[in-house]
Amino acid sequence: MLKKLPKQVTGQMVLPVIAAPMFLVSSPDLVIESCKAGIIGSFPLLNARTTDILDDWMNHINEELEKSRLENPGKRIAPWAVNLVVHRTNIRYEADLKLIEKYQPPIVITSLGKPTTVINIVHQYGGLVFSDVSNLDHARKAAESGVDGLILVCDGAGGHAGTINPLAFIGAVKEFWDGITILSGCISSGRDILAAKVLGADLAYMGTRFIATKESFASEEYQTMLIDSSLEDLIYTDAFSGVNGNYLIPSIKKAGLNPSHLEKKDSVDFSKMNRTEAKAWKDIWSAGQGVNTIKQVLPAGELVQELKNEYDQALASLSPDHSKI
């Protein structure tokens, strides 16, 4: 277990941020532009409809980032990450794991399952494994498995979210964990990123803010709804995947459903989570509680610069030395 982020990661970043992997939203271009802007870009492997398409995406990301490094020596270009669902119903698990071995993404984020096999493979090529967790039991099990980092998915996060306040969650986890810690949940501005660092996080995990980027797969209608929505437009429910998450009420109504009478989905089934079959996720859109901060759609690079400016301003208000992340 690493106790801090290695220099080959921090030395290539301008902000301590991961653009979180979002189902049906994160695209290869969003990953590339995030990394080129100096933050870790990521995407769920299941965003690619097939293994062949995924092969092309991973090759494209590696080639574009390597090209950018060669053309811009000295520029901070952050490493990239993929999200692998290790739940037993993910029928693409074995095939996608082979592509991880082939393309060696520097960071692999695991969800919903025991990551032991993934850890062994990724550590062999020198990569890092982060595991997302939403309660203390999951955090302890992930820590015991040998992951390098814990992503604390707290109350207020978009998509699948926990119910624990971030202040309480990071404090409780720090009692038994001194490895890399990533904080998630309603982190939407440069000030929020600094707050996560002050709490003891090594990285902030930002999803919702990156839905409203030029490079995301999100439709124009989704992005417009995001901009027009506020905290009052969110509902926390397990009706759509079997796992609780935050969703936009206007999208639920648009799909012809009554937000007050949603039926619980009996179980989660990731065998159907791909871009052709996940109708509920195409029609029902998620968002975190930081939705109020989203006012426009920006290129990822411009968004990162805006966050960097906010971060620097917040840090300068506390200390004259804000040269380090």
- Predicted confidence (pLDDT) per residue in 134-188, tens digit: 999 999 999 999 999 999 999 988 877 888 999 999 999 999 999 999 999 989 9
CA distance linking residue 236 with residue 289, whole number of Å: 11
Determine contact, residues 291/208, Cβ cutoff 8 Å: yes
255 in a domain, yes or no? no
324 in a domain, yes or no? no
Q: For residue 128, what is the domain's CATH number?
A: 3.20.20.70
Tell me the sheet residues that pair with 153. Answer: 184
Helix (H) or strand (E) holding 223: helix 220-228
Q: What is the pLDDT of residue 275?
A: 41
Domain extent at residue 86 = 7-217+291-316
How many structural domains is the chain composed of?
1
Q: Would you place residue 322 in the very low, low, confident or very high pLDDT band (cuts 50, 70, 90)?
A: low
* Residue 4 DSSP one-character state: S
266 in a domain, yes or no? no
pLDDT at 274 over 60: no
Per the prediction, the chain carries an average pLDDT of 90
282 in a domain, yes or no? no
Q: Would you place residue 280 in the very low, low, confident or very high pLDDT band (cuts 50, 70, 90)?
A: low
Determine contact, residues 143/180, Cβ cutoff 8 Å: no
CA distance linking residue 132 with residue 130, whole number of Å: 7
Q: What is the pTM of this model?
A: 0.91
226 in a domain, yes or no? no
211 in a domain, yes or no? yes
262 in a domain, yes or no? no
Determine contact, residues 201/190, Cβ cutoff 8 Å: no
